[in-house]
Chains A and B, each alone.
Chain A
């Protein structure tokens, strides 16, 4: 379990990048928290710097869009999903439980 930040430091519409290997992006999508691999499955770009709209995150480089609930791309140029991770809030802290390579791949 990785401690990310305090919940109040991640208001709705915001995101934070966690420096794990590989890095993880945590989003507050209108009150619901999601975590996915931060690096776009298309090319090297940080999804935490992307455009968040509802449960969709748009990559800041080529506008590939992913559904944060499943990690699946909803449009080109991305063709592969990003891994999703479990997010918890405990005592006001946002925590992420990293998925293994297999379980996060949202088949």
Chain B
């Protein structure tokens, strides 16, 4: 089956048991791999969906059962060995053995790297009441803190996680302030004007948004002689001090490549791979948040579900026989508005408003990004239906010309 190994793959290890890892395991079976399939997960949980953690799970609209990505019937059908609650520690120099934290070694004819990313933290000593939001355990801890009564919440970072978490905290009745270092949050993703419009959503629920200001220190105090220090305030670069009972740090995520340090793989903000998700070793592929196929790392749910099909095909073929550059797509739910974006925008694209008003984003709007007379991306707030049509059009154009370059006329 594999041209590289000259014989059949008998054992494949998927390192990572979240969305991309699960999809890779499914693809392996769907594409006929009938050998030993081992899925390793650092977290003790069966695969679960992360997007609801900052939204419905935090507000109590969805319980843990609602997060499950699979069920016992499918798990049985997959016929995989699940090693959960154990981290991978290393991949050997030939990429044939995965070494686990507990000392176990997994001989592998093929390896799927799907270790995802971990929430970035602020430097300084750990303080009680300071949270990140990436894992189910993070979300459980945050939810437990949020149901104990009204709190002064400071969210550091106005990106999607920060905005969604702030929205959920506001919905639960907390006093919420978002601190964003950039002049406008999400400007890099959405462009200045549309990002400014999305930022206005915060005010609709009474959330304060402070922009262009960084955090210099988190201050804490012990509430008793034996108690650990608990957050009391957040100090800002403009010398303001925000009293805080609870801080949520939403300043991005770092791809989990630390365990690959001794391997021959190229690592640079993720695992570098070709457009077919194949790394420097033909029997090692990378998918999801940790992967940087074609030089682009996208922490998008959709990428994590689309890359495994191509990655597994190439893995089983022993070389890159198929490439895929799906049209980027992401969504966010905040303050009752559904934000959806598709395409690849660049600085200098012209933003054209199609529906609604940027001044009243809570009533929804639809905008397109144009370059050389062509629509290259679309942004919708509360305009799901027309967005869907635009996204289909963009997908068709993208499939015809994945480079996304305007056609010379």
Binding site for B on A (CB under 8 A): 43-46, 49-51, 60-63, 76-77, 79
Contacts and interface: CB of A to CB of B under 8 A. Distances in A.
B217 interface: no
Contacts of B71: 79
A60 B380 CA distance: 12
B52 A50 contact: no
30 contacts: A43-B49, A43-B52, A44-B56, A45-B384, A46-B384, A49-B384, A49-B385, A49-B388, A50-B388, A51-B388, A51-B389, A51-B392, A60-B384, A60-B385, A60-B387, A60-B388, A61-B331, A61-B338, A61-B384, A62-B301, A62-B302, A62-B305, A63-B302, A76-B23, A76-B26, A76-B305, A77-B69, A79-B70, A79-B71, A79-B74
Contacts of B49: 43
A54 to B, nearest CB: 15
Contacts of B69: 77
A52 B118 CA distance: 38
A5 B14 CA distance: 51
A79 B71 CA distance: 9
B144 to A, nearest CB: 23
Contacts of A49: 384-385, 388
Nearest to B389: A51
A25 B117 CA distance: 38
Nearest to B386: A49
A76 B71 CA distance: 13
A87 to B, nearest CB: 21
A46 B388 CA distance: 12
Contacts of A77: 69, 305
A80 to B, nearest CB: 9
A60 B52 CA distance: 17
Nearest to A63: B302
A13 to B, nearest CB: 11
Interface string B54-87: 0010000000000001110010000000000000
A107 to B, nearest CB: 14
A63 B326 CA distance: 13
A70 B49 CA distance: 26
Contacts of A62: 301-302, 305
A45 B74 CA distance: 24
A44 B338 CA distance: 11
Contacts of B388: 49-51, 60
A76 B302 CA distance: 12
Contacts of A50: 388
Contacts of B26: 76
Contacts of B51: 43
A77 B301 CA distance: 11
Interface string B332-367: 000000100000000000000000000000000000
Contacts of A63: 302
B206 to A, nearest CB: 23
A100 B136 CA distance: 34
B302 to A, nearest CB: 8
Contacts of A46: 384
Contacts of B23: 76
A49 to B, nearest CB: 4
Interface string B373-384: 000000000001
Contacts of B305: 62, 76-77
B88 to A, nearest CB: 26
Interface string B293-320: 0000000011001000000000000000
Scoring A43, A50, A51 by chain B CB atoms within 10 A of each residue's CB, the highest score goes to A43
Interface in B184-208: none
